Amino acid sequence: TSEFNLTDVLFFCRKAMENVVDDDVTKRFSPQKLDSWNLLTRNNHNFCHISLRLKVVWVLGLLLRYGVLLPLRWLRSCLSDKVHLMGCHICVRSLSAIITYHNRQNKPQNDGICVANHTTPIDGIILANDRCYSLVGQLHGGLLGMIQRAMVTSSPHIWFERAEVKDRHLVAKRLIDHVADKTKHPVLIFPEGTCINNTSVMMFRKSSFELGCTIYPVAIKYDPRFGDAFWNSSKFGLVRYLLRTMSSWAIVCSVWYLPPMNRKEGEDAVQFANRVKSVIAAKGGFVDLKWDGGLKRARVKEAFKEEQQELYSRLVVGVSQGADNAASDSAKES
Amino acid sequence: MGSRASTLLREEEIEEIKKETGFSHSQITRLYSRFTSLDKGENGTLSREDFQRIPELAINPLGDRIINAFFPEGEDQVNFRGFMRTLAHFRPIEDNEKNKNPTASEPLNSRSNKLLFAFRLYDLDRDDKISRDELLQVLRMMVGVNISDEQLGSIADRTIQEADTNGDSCISFQEFIKASLVEKLCETCF
């Protein structure tokens, strides 16, 4: 039978004293005590002089941490840009690319989107040789995905998961947020969406032009006499393409930086896109086409045929002279 | 290169505490480090709040009384010496102490000093007697709401009856010691 004893209080006393000496909780809220000192005074509670040798070591550690590690980490972002540029220079040399940049005063700034005509994946390297850009694209698996993820650790790129690509609002939001941040590099977008053989500029997708950001157009023209830079992705893969490129005479190209453009009042995204496209086409000497580069792989939409049928129908049924001229003009164009 | 200089423990102090309490040098420095980590106000003394901040102590049924035992009569702050003196009551008895010089003064962690500590937990008004009320108070603290007043009252009455030898319905320190010996005997028998 358990009964009350006068000395039962001693049990509670003992427990209390144990907790006064050491308890499980309060020590969790102050820095962890280390078995051996890590040469940081912030980790040493009862800091006192132990030996001269230790003091010397501590001073050296102090110099290293504040003189070397701290500035290096601070400079990291500006160093990372330099490293990137150096890497690009090396890539460009390996392709024997001779690039002439024109109108460098119009080089894209951190507050906008850079758009250019697309001929080859090398376009990115050609442009990145002159300044750093943030790339946009779908996140891949495998080696390319690993490279993409590695790139993000040093500067912000916008990689989308496959599912997110379909969500236009999400894409738009991420782009707007990125552009709004003045410390981030300009986004590099190729609005044609596919590689064209550098003789024409095809339809620019309107999504980049809907965002309301400043557009920096760039025209890239390759000289075909020294090597064909066009990647015919339906004929050969990336590896063969690189082989062909590296075994040509050289990649000679001109890059024209065009003055920044913004959407005008009353201009919709499509009109703005077309305006930018014609500027690029004019500078690079390309044929300005309204056709979609996606026609490389996809069939043309039925709607265009229906448009022609509708115009002809008006002719047959007999309408005013003005509509007649319009109908015959559009018939000539196609 | 030094921590809070005003509260740094000097060698002479460590020696004095060692003599008074019987703690070893390393135990004293360790307990000093614990003292400073509890001392949030960084003024070299602990207040009752500093103790209450220890969750396991705060949930101890006798926590308040025990914390009280650290503080000298009527004071709100306890310094490191006082802290060590109270802790010394519960320092484990080492083998080499058992055969000490019998003429040396009684160590703080002797059984009778421990009992005096326990006695003082009951005897709030310091009249060297544990009255029925004082006993009930401590009982109530230990059991909370789980035992009724009548039952608790009868436990108190029985305890006093068994311990009280001079018939004053209170337990003096001598009666307390005798009662604890009886309890100890019973423990070893059962």
Inform me whether the pLDDT recorded for B2 exceeds 50. Answer: no
Could you tell me whether strands A97-102 and A214-222 are parallel, antiparallel, or unpaired per DSSP bridges?
A: unpaired
- What confidence tier does B189 reach under pLDDT thresholds 50, 70, 90? low
Inform me whether the pLDDT recorded for B176 exceeds 80. Answer: yes
Share in percent of chain A as helix, strand, coil (round to 5) = 50, 15, 35
Residue B61's pLDDT is 92
Residue for token digits 């008004």? B125
Mean pLDDT over A63-91 rounds to 84
Positive or negative torsion for Cα A7, A8, A13, A14: positive
Nearest one of A202, A247, A203, A195 to A222, comparing CA atoms: A195
Inform me whether the pLDDT recorded for A165 exceeds 80. Answer: no
What residues of chain B lie within 8 A of the CB of A48, using their CB? Answer: 1-3, 8
Query: Can you tell me the distance from the alpha carbon of A278 to that of A201, in angstroms, rounded to the nearest whole number?
Result: 8
Query: Can you tell me the distance from the alpha carbon of B159 to that of A261, in angstroms, rounded to the nearest whole number?
Result: 96
Q: What is the pTM of this model?
A: 0.52
Interface with B, mutate which of A4, A6, A32, A42 (most B CBs under 10 A): A6
- HSE (side-chain half, CA atoms, 13 Å) at A208: 28
Sequential DSSP letters for B65-104: HHHHHHSPTT-S-B-HHHHHHHHHTTPPPPHHHHT--TTS
Contact criterion met (CB < 8 Å) for B62 and A13 = yes
Inform me whether the pLDDT recorded for B5 exceeds 50. Answer: no
Sequential DSSP letters for B12-78: HHHHHHHHHH---HHHHHHHHHHHHHH-TT-SS-B-HHHHHTSHHHHTSTTHHHHHHHHSPTT-S-B
Contact criterion met (CB < 8 Å) for B60 and A46 = no
- What confidence tier does A240 reach under pLDDT thresholds 50, 70, 90? confident
What residues of chain A lie within 8 A of the CB of B112, using their CB? Answer: none
Answer with the residue of higher pLDDT: B97 or B181: B181
Residue B1's pLDDT is 35
Residue A2's pLDDT is 53
Interface with A, mutate which of B56, B89, B161 (most A CBs under 10 A): B56
Q: Which two tokens stand for residue A8?
A: 């039962």
- What confidence tier does A1 reach under pLDDT thresholds 50, 70, 90? very low
Percent of chain A with pLDDT over 90: 23
Name residue A278's amino acid.
Answer: S
Sequential DSSP letters for A27-43: GGGSPPPPSS--S-GGG
**Exposed/middle/buried for A63, CB within 10 Å: 0-12, 13-18, 19+?**
exposed
- What confidence tier does B60 reach under pLDDT thresholds 50, 70, 90? very high
What residues of chain B lie within 8 A of the CB of A5, using their CB? Answer: 180, 183
Q: What is the pLDDT of residues A266-314, one digit of tens each?
A: 889 999 999 999 999 999 999 888 888 777 777 778 888 888 888 888 8
- Decide: A256 and A284 in contact? Cβ < 8 Å: yes
Of A32-41, A150-159, B54-63, the one with minimum mean pLDDT is A32-41
A15 touches chain B (CB under 8 A): yes
Choose among B34, B51, B60: nearest Cβ to A21.
B34
Inform me whether the pLDDT recorded for A257 exceeds 90. Answer: yes
Inform me whether the pLDDT recorded for A160 exceeds 60. Answer: yes
Mean pLDDT over B32-56 rounds to 90
Helix ranges restricted to H, chain A: 8-21, 52-63, 70-94, 122-128, 142-154, 162-165, 168-180, 238-246, 269-284, 302-317, 321-333
Contact criterion met (CB < 8 Å) for B176 and A6 = yes
Mean pLDDT over A221-243 rounds to 84
- Decide: B179 and A6 in contact? Cβ < 8 Å: yes
Residue A333's pLDDT is 54
Long-range contacts of B52-56 (CB under 8 A, 24+ apart): B53/A26, B54/A19, B54/A20, B54/A23, B54/A25, B54/A26, B55/A23, B55/A25, B55/A26, B56/A15, B56/A19, B56/A23, B56/A24, B56/A25
Backbone angles phi, psi at A294, to 5 degrees: -65, -10
**Closest Cα of chain B to A52: distance in Å?**
12
- Give SS3 for B129: strand
